[in-house]
A and B are shown apart, each in its own frame.
Chain A
Amino acid sequence: MTREWIHPGLLLIAGAWILPFCKGRTKRAVMILLPAAALVECVVMQPGTYGVVRLLGQEVIFGRVDRLALVFSYVFALVALIGMVYSLHVNDDAQHVAALTYAGAALGAVFAGDFLSLFLFWELMALSAAILVLLRRRPAAVAAGFRYVLVHIFGGLCLLAGIVLHWSHTGSLRFGDLSPYAGSAAFTLILIAFLVNAAVPPLGAWLPDAYPEATATGAVFLTAFTTKSAVYALIRGFAGTEILVWWGAAMAVYGVVYAVLENDARRLLAYHIISQVGYMICGVGLGTELALNGATAHAFAHILYKALLFMGAGAVLQVTGLRKLSDMGGLYKMMPRTLSLYMVGAFAISAVPLFSGFVTKSMVVSAAGESHRAAIYLLLTLASSGTFLHTGLKLPYYMFFGRDRGLRAEEPPRNMLVAMGLAAVACVVIGVVPVVLYSQLPYRVDYIPFTVRHVTATLGLLGFTALGFFLLLKQLDPEPVVSLDTDWFYRRGGTAVQNFAQGALARLEGSVSRLSDVVMQRFVLGVGAQLRDIDLRGVDAMMVGIGRLTEEVSCDLTLAMSGHVQRYALIMAAGILAGVALAVFGL
């Protein structure tokens, strides 16, 4: 029996607008029901093609449902649900609508079968995410949100240009594997656009810039969708692109390096997003079935454990108002549950056995191994060590342990803990019973994560990373600094453009304007004066009559009696008269 296909993304986007009209219990119920319904819809959906519309002579496909799209849709809907539970206590409808729109747009992008619908949802994601950042309503957040918009507009335009070029070369707008077109301008532009959203350095500075500025609840949504829908898009269109292998590995290390220097808790986690996405990009580049499975699985797990980590840091922010590690410490006594749940996330991201990261990250690393790429393998493993160093050691140490500063704190509201619990459960389930995730991956999975070598090597890696941490503990004390990233170019560089526009260009425009004034007036004055003289001698009475009329008309006009208007009007009347006369009798 075929049933009507409802687009889960549109369900969220449209359904979000019910929220401003509900109150109290109903509102909270709707907040949970919407993403739950979307999740149910994703789960019962059958593969196929739905929602096809004709536009501009092309097919616009809103529902391209296959295994790859489905697995991403599950995790997007799930994290939307978790995020909504986490935000139940927030009394700001705008944030909820923005968050649900954002989630819905991500679902839309995942199911988009052609470039036009992809572009539509791409832009909608950028807009709703920017609004979500803005809604913290602090000057820093507003500025960061605006920068977010600018960067994503740039990415969006690259995508638009790439789409148009692709359309004109191939005549088709279908979104599929683009490797046949490798090296063309369209390929490059679309790749750049996807890389911007995936926060690949040097295009990714927007991520650590914007994410820490959002609200505690908003940030949870932000971490999930933009980068992972970009990963999805890369898997779909750019699998096997060689350059991504190196870029991804570099990215994994890049994030870890910056994280060492970070003082802001959530910015540190944001740099880790970049690091983890690096694994996924690397997997996309490797292109083997294991690698692509790994990228997908890692995205799935990452969304959940990253959300959990941000929820933990957000809880601390919510309860203490602190964001900088140099201000925190000694919270373990007062927030033990938050700490434990956070640590689940930390173990998951660090790939501790029996947690989700262990069974997913290793797929990508093994894929690098099977392709006999030693350097990539070593880089990724180095980054794994760094990951544990920061999220598993540095962050909890300075946030929850460390120097006791006598802070007052308590456990966050219950809904936040419940949400964190849900995510934690997911991380553990995937870690213990990986087949739950493996069965959903796009390709058949032969990979077995629990091998002796793998388990012991991982434990050794993590354990001795911890040793290194304690040995160099003094070095790691957080300092109140910011690190320069590529956003420098448009934060400092933007003023240069503004100065140019307001300085040199404005002067040029002023000159052009004045020039035209002068030329027009001289020309009209000159010619008109000549004609006036001729006509005065010739058609005397008529000129006087016109002059009188002009004077009367100009008196009626509410203006200062400058006399200029009369002269001009006189001259123009003369000019027209002469022109018509010439035309009728002359030519």
Chain B
Amino acid sequence: MTFKRWFHVGLVVFAVGEIAGPHLFRADHAHFWFEDIPAWGSIYGLVSCLLIIIGSKLLGKLWLTRPENYYDS
């Protein structure tokens, strides 16, 4: 479907833009070494997202979640 197609196009654009950008335009200095990794934002974005979802779900399943009426006395 078109949404999916456009979405993938967008992803490619962002990733390429991130890699190419600092070379095409005047780049400002980075604070840390990892910021110079190509497509750093994209990679970290994906990693963060997966980490958060998986980590939180695990935390929930193992410890934090309770049925809805847990506090109703």
- Which residues does A use to contact B, with CB under 8 Å? 256-258, 260-261, 366, 369-370, 372, 374, 377-378, 381-382, 384-386, 389, 451-472, 475-476, 479-484, 491
- Taking a contact as CB atoms closer than 8 A, the residue among A258, A452, A465, A472 that contacts B48 in the complex is A465
- Asked whether, in the complex, the Cβ of B66 is within 8 Å of the Cβ of A460, the reply is no
Contacts of A386 in B (CB 8 A): 48-49, 52
- Asked whether, in the complex, the Cβ of B46 is within 8 Å of the Cβ of A468, the reply is yes
- Asked whether, in the complex, the Cβ of B68 is within 8 Å of the Cβ of A480, the reply is yes
- Taking a contact as CB atoms closer than 8 A, the residue among B45, B50, B64 that contacts A460 in the complex is B45
- Asked whether, in the complex, the Cβ of A463 is within 8 Å of the Cβ of B45, the reply is yes
Chain B residue with minimal CB distance to A472?
B53
Contacts of B22 in A (CB 8 A): 452-453, 456
Known: A453-B21, A482-B65; 11 extra A-B contacts, CB below 8 A, are A384-B48, A385-B44, A457-B40, A460-B40, A462-B14, A463-B15, A468-B46, A468-B50, A472-B49, A475-B53, A475-B54
Would you give 15 A-B contacts (Cβ < 8 Å), ordered by A?
A: A257-B52, A257-B56, A258-B64, A261-B65, A385-B49, A386-B49, A453-B28, A454-B28, A456-B21, A457-B40, A460-B43, A465-B45, A465-B46, A481-B60, A482-B67
Bound: A378/B39 CA distance, A: 15
Q: How far is the CB of A145 from chain B (nearest CB, A)?
A: 15
Contacts of A470 in B (CB 8 A): 7
Q: How far is the CB of B41 from chain A (nearest CB, A)?
A: 3
B30 touches A (CB below 8 Å): yes
Contacts of A377 in B (CB 8 A): 31-32
- Taking a contact as CB atoms closer than 8 A, the residue among B30, B53, B68, B70 that contacts A260 in the complex is B53
- Taking a contact as CB atoms closer than 8 A, the residue among B18, B31, B51, B57 that contacts A372 in the complex is B31
Q: How far is the CB of B6 from chain A (nearest CB, A)?
A: 12
Chain B residue with minimal CB distance to A382?
B48
Q: Is the interface of B mostly helix, strand, loop or mixed?
A: helix
- Asked whether, in the complex, the Cβ of B57 is within 8 Å of the Cβ of A261, the reply is yes
Q: How far is the CB of A286 from chain B (nearest CB, A)?
A: 13
Chain B residue with minimal CB distance to A454?
B28
Contacts of B70 in A (CB 8 A): 482
User: Which of B11, B34, B46, B52 is packed against the most chain A CB atoms within 10 Å?
Assistant: B52
- Asked whether, in the complex, the Cβ of A483 is within 8 Å of the Cβ of B49, the reply is no
Contacts of A389 in B (CB 8 A): 49, 52-53
User: What 5 pairs between A and B have smallest CB-CB spacing?
Assistant: A468-B49, A369-B31, A460-B41, A457-B41, A460-B42
Known: A467-B11, A482-B65, A482-B71. A385 touches B45 (CB 8 A): yes
- Taking a contact as CB atoms closer than 8 A, the residue among A378, A468, A483 that contacts B64 in the complex is A483
B26 touches A (CB below 8 Å): yes
Known: A372-B31, A467-B46, A482-B70. A460 touches B60 (CB 8 A): no
- Asked whether, in the complex, the Cβ of A463 is within 8 Å of the Cβ of B52, the reply is no
- Asked whether, in the complex, the Cβ of B45 is within 8 Å of the Cβ of A468, the reply is yes
What's the count of A-B pairs with C-beta under 8 Å? 160
- Asked whether, in the complex, the Cβ of A468 is within 8 Å of the Cβ of B14, the reply is no
Contacts of B56 in A (CB 8 A): 256-258, 260-261
Contacts of B15 in A (CB 8 A): 460, 463-464
Bound: A464/B18 CA distance, A: 12
Known: A385-B49, A456-B18, A468-B46. A483 touches B32 (CB 8 A): no
- Asked whether, in the complex, the Cβ of A481 is within 8 Å of the Cβ of B31, the reply is no
Bound: A469/B49 CA distance, A: 7
Contacts of A385 in B (CB 8 A): 44-45, 48-49, 52
- Asked whether, in the complex, the Cβ of B68 is within 8 Å of the Cβ of A482, the reply is yes
Contacts of A480 in B (CB 8 A): 67-68
Bound: A271/B21 CA distance, A: 35
- Taking a contact as CB atoms closer than 8 A, the residue among A261, A459, A464 that contacts B43 in the complex is A464
Contacts of B39 in A (CB 8 A): 460
Known: A389-B52, A483-B64. A463 touches B10 (CB 8 A): yes
Q: How far is the CB of B3 from chain A (nearest CB, A)?
A: 10
Contacts of B42 in A (CB 8 A): 460-461, 463-464
Bound: A366/B30 CA distance, A: 10
Bound: A466/B46 CA distance, A: 8
Chain B residue with minimal CB distance to A451?
B28
- Asked whether, in the complex, the Cβ of B68 is within 8 Å of the Cβ of A461, the reply is no
Contacts of A381 in B (CB 8 A): 44, 48
Contacts of B32 in A (CB 8 A): 369, 372, 374, 377
Contacts of B67 in A (CB 8 A): 480-482
- Asked whether, in the complex, the Cβ of B65 is within 8 Å of the Cβ of A462, the reply is no
Q: How far is the CB of A61 from chain B (nearest CB, A)?
A: 40
Contacts of B43 in A (CB 8 A): 460, 464
Contacts of B44 in A (CB 8 A): 378, 381-382, 385, 461
Chain B residue with minimal CB distance to A385?
B48
Contacts of A384 in B (CB 8 A): 48
Contacts of B18 in A (CB 8 A): 456-457, 459-460
Chain A residue with minimal CB distance to B32?
A374
User: Which of B49, B55, B64, B67 is packed against the most chain A CB atoms within 10 Å?
Assistant: B49
Q: How far is the CB of A383 from chain B (nearest CB, A)?
A: 8
- Asked whether, in the complex, the Cβ of A484 is within 8 Å of the Cβ of B64, the reply is yes
Q: How far is the CB of A270 from chain B (nearest CB, A)?
A: 16
Chain A residue with minimal CB distance to B49?
A468
Chain A residue with minimal CB distance to B20?
A456
Q: How far is the CB of A462 from chain B (nearest CB, A)?
A: 7
Chain A residue with minimal CB distance to B10?
A463
- Asked whether, in the complex, the Cβ of B53 is within 8 Å of the Cβ of A491, the reply is no
Contacts of A461 in B (CB 8 A): 41-42, 44-45, 48
Chain A residue with minimal CB distance to B56?
A260
- Asked whether, in the complex, the Cβ of A456 is within 8 Å of the Cβ of B41, the reply is yes
- Asked whether, in the complex, the Cβ of A481 is within 8 Å of the Cβ of B66, the reply is yes
